[in-house]
Structure 1
């Protein structure tokens, strides 16, 4: 056909000698398994030869779906989130879906506005890394039947599918590592209590240190999951508890702030104080000293979240029951941890 000719699905079906419905299922990755392999290959070959391109508008009209998914992240500058988004996008693309990514700056009001905008754009579902534990707007939206998956952070009163890190095991790994190095005066620089992960990691720290014989445990809260907030919180910790020798930070950003606070106070890391973060963000092996951390399978979390959401969107005969997948952490000890002094 000439370049000016618009190739239709019927043209492809005619060339492959199949019904247009069969051609449609073969071309759509989400329904390709419903067609015999040989038939699908014949349809795809015909589509390639004719230069057929899927018309997303036409498809959305036929299926009553926009083929878009809203993805909300709380802090675009935090290197924890891009690998998750990449995993989401890669998994969605297999089903011909596109992610509309929005940054909320950990602001619940902004998050609510973004949610309303995505709803107006008729996204087929939402993947949310929410800014706050208490979020009535999300609860109300889920009640309307909007397919939704939470990642990393939970919301009070919201019973939907999610992909979460095993915070209990992650923090226990960090505490056990410091304990094994001889540390007995261990502190936790926690995240803000308005975020679910901050609460779960704080509680996990208190449980882990309670089980460890002879440990003196201290908790001090950081105002945000950020380097600057971590620096301020750790500075206060060092003033109030100068005998601390080990720190478990609620995430890597807070941990990097702790490294800055230690340098400002004239203490060496790990000579005087050892530090462990959580998340294993990119480039941590190039900090000074390289930061020990509990690694999180971020890309896999994103893919898993997209799989859960697509199963809701594509379900026939009722939505699947809410499923929470818990991801396993992995400890990575680097230069910021060492034996307890003295």
Structure 2
């Protein structure tokens, strides 16, 4: 195996001091080197096949240059775009990420959290916001750098990057009201998640302000199967069943699609359905799903930037970056037939 190329060899070829090479190839310090010199250093590094030694850098900076990303469900389509957004920001700063899945289980979350700590990650991005006792609360008490994404930490003062969920729910209810619906149901996600609370509260407020009848059914998970179970409860109401549904996410909405079809009913004629998140392929549902579009990739970018700022300043600030959402109207909502 050939010897590893070091900074000294790059510096010799580029005709600069080794310290200049180090600054030019470090995303945090590259601005300290003029553009022409930076380009010359990078050409030399590429010619020699030089790659940065992250272990050596970590020893110098007391940093592992790694981040832990903890999410509740890898199969939920909203999380890959968020993770991509996080990584797009981290990579440019020389960081890499460990992505772990908890299946929504508090015990697994604790285990993977401690495992990542043993790997000496520099900080965490949590996508697992709980309203009760949580790993995030323990992490904050221990002074560990972290950020919440898509959800908050139920009172733990970590910074967060979230969508303006309440605005999205209000827009969905207003849209259904304007179509003529006067009784609307909501499938709320698990009560332990902050997103469930925010969306359910916004649904109540929107219906009450418009004088609409409302039914709220708590789903056991943000999943298709949970959407089917909630739909069975909704359709069991019978002739007085609401004519429209605002689901807590697109997977719950998809579960409702299946149940409506199995019951011999038609969406949107018998039940208008609105989802939340605009996950990939939502426009390919039959009919295409009306849903609230959340800028998932941008949420990941913002969360990563919040964490990088935290690591640089060594300060945990309780701030929230809230990104606007948008109601996307498609074929699953229409004027009620009855």
TM band (smaller chain): over 0.9
Matches within 5 A, 1:304-323: 304-315=302-313, 318-319=314-315, 321-323=317-319
11, 23, 33: which is aligned to 1:25? 23
Unaligned runs of 5+ in 1: none
Distance in 1, matches of 2:229 and 2:329, equals 24
What TM-score results when the alignment is normalised by the length of structure 2? Answer: 0.95
Instruction: Give the match for residue 334 of structure 1.
Output: 330
1:271 and 2:293 aligned: no
Is the contact between residue 107 and residue 131 of structure 1 (CA under 8 Å) also seen in structure 2? no
Which deviates more from structure 2 when the two are superposed, residues 232-241 or residues 287-296?
232-241
Instruction: Give the match for residue 236 of structure 2.
Output: 239
Is the contact between residue 130 and residue 193 of structure 2 (CA under 8 Å) also seen in structure 1? yes
221, 227, 230: which is aligned to 2:227? 230
Is the contact between residue 183 and residue 246 of structure 1 (CA under 8 Å) also seen in structure 2? yes
Distance in 1, matches of 2:145 and 2:261, equals 47
What TM-score results when the alignment is normalised by the length of structure 1? Answer: 0.94
Unaligned runs of 5+ in 2: none
Which deviates more from structure 2 when the two are superposed, residues 37-46 or residues 166-175?
37-46
3-state SS of paired residue (2:264): coil
Tell me by how many angstroms 1:233 deviates.
Answer: 0.8
Instruction: Give the match for residue 182 of structure 1.
Output: 180
- Classify 1:271/1:32 alpha carbon distance in 2 versus 1 (closer, same or farther; 3 Å): same
Which deviates more from structure 2 when the two are superposed, residues 150-159 or residues 102-111?
150-159
Is the contact between residue 135 and residue 155 of structure 1 (CA under 8 Å) also seen in structure 2? no
Paired positions, count: 337
Is the contact between residue 7 and residue 21 of structure 2 (CA under 8 Å) also seen in structure 1? yes
3-state SS of paired residue (1:230): helix
1:108 and 2:106 aligned: yes
Instruction: Give the match for residue 127 of structure 1.
Output: 125
RMSD between superposed Cα atoms in Å: 1.5
Cα deviation per residue 1:249-308 (whole Å; 9 max; x = unaligned)? 000011111111212222211001100000001111122221111011011111111111
Cα deviation per residue 1:320-342 (whole Å; 9 max; x = unaligned)? 62321101111111111111123
